[in-house]
Amino acid sequence: ELKVEQNPLFLSMQEGKNYTIYCNYSTTSDRLYWYRQDPGKSLESLFVLLSNGAVKQEGRLMASLDTKARLSTLHITAAVHDLSATYFCAVASYNFNKFYFGSGTKLNVKP
Amino acid sequence: GAVVSQHPSWVICKSGTSVKIECRSLDFQATTMFWYRQFPKQSLMLMATSNEGSKATYEQGVEKDKFLINHASLTLSTLTVTSAHPEDSSFYICSATNRGLNTEAFFGQGTRLTVV
C-alpha cells in the first residue's frame, strides 16, 4: 500500500516568516499533488507535479518534487494571514488507480 | 480545470435509513472515481476506487455491503450508505479522473452526512 507522510501536522507562524512543509511517500510515483482545504470545504488544487525536479510557484507558495528521494516540499514565503488553511499532499499510483493523501498540515498564520 | 459536481452538499438522516450521494463529471468522461471520507480535523481516507462498468475496489477495512458504489456511466458514480448509524456521520468527498487523458483528479464539493 502506498503511504504518504506529511509533516508538520500543525504549523503556527507569524506573518512575514518562511516555512516548509514536507511530504514523503513510500513507493515509486511521479505524480504528486498539493491541495488547500478551508474549514467545511472541499479541496482546492494548488500544484500538480509530474516529473523529477519539477518546481512550480504561485504567489507565496512554491512546490517541488524529488522522485528519487520520494519527497515533495511546499515552501511558504513571507506568510500572510490569508494562507491559513489545511494543506494536503497526495500521491497517485503509477497507473492512477489509487490516490492517497498525507495527514495534512494545519497552518495558522498570526497577524 | 474540469468540473465535478457532488450532490447533496449536506444531508441529515435517521439511523437505519439509507442515503445516496451522487458524483457527476460535467465536462469530461470519468473512467475512474475515488470516494473518500473525512472525519473532523483528519485527512481524507480513501474508501474505494471505481472504474466505469466494473465493480468498485474497496480499501481494507471498508465494508462493501455498507457503502455501495455504482459507477454505471462515464459521468456518474453514486455512493449509498446503507443502514446508516451515527458513526457514519462524516464528510464524504468524491473525485474523478480520466486515466487516459487527465494527469490529475478533480474533486466534488463534498457531502456532509449527519445521522441522528
| DSSP class per residue in A25-70 | ESS--S-EEEEEE-TT--EEEEEEE-STT-EEEETTEEEEEETTTT
Does B41 have pLDDT greater than 80?
yes
Over range A55-79, report the average pLDDT.
96
pLDDT exceeds 90 at position A98: no
Spell out the alpha helix ranges (H) of B1-116.
none
| Statement: residue A109 has pLDDT above 90 | yes
Q: Is A50 on the interface with B (CB under 8 A)?
A: yes
Measure the CA–CA gap between B35 and A81, rounded to whole angstroms. 31
Query: B68-105 as b/e, with b when 16 or more CB fall inside 10 Å?
Result: bbebeebbbbbbebeebeeebbbbbbbbbbbeeebebb
Q: Percent of chain B scored above 70 by pLDDT?
A: 97
Phi, psi of B40 (to 5 degrees): -50, 130
Contact B109 A98 (CB under 8 A): no
Chain B nearest CA to A78, separation (Å): 26
* A104 contacts A11 by C-beta, under 8 angstroms: no
In B, minimum Cα distance to A5 occurs at B43
Chain B residues bordering chain A (beta-carbon distance below 8 Å): 1, 6, 32, 34, 36, 41-46, 49, 51, 57, 60, 93, 95, 97, 99, 103-110, 112
Q: How would residue A38 be classed by pLDDT, with cut points 50, 70 and 90?
A: very high
> CA-nearest residue of chain B to A6?
B43
Alpha-carbon distances, residue B16 vs A84, A100, B81, B85 (angstroms): 38, 30, 10, 6
Residue among A45, A96, A102 minimizing CB distance to B1: A45
Residue of B44, B57, B103 lying closest to A50 (CB–CB): B103
Write the burial class of residue A24 (CB in 10 Å: 0-12 exposed, 13-18 middle, 19+ buried): middle
Chain B contact present for A81, CB below 8 A: no
Of B57, B105, B110, the CB nearest to A99: B105
Q: What is the pLDDT of residues B59-110, one digit of tens each?
A: 999 999 999 999 989 999 999 999 999 999 999 999 999 877 778 889 999 9
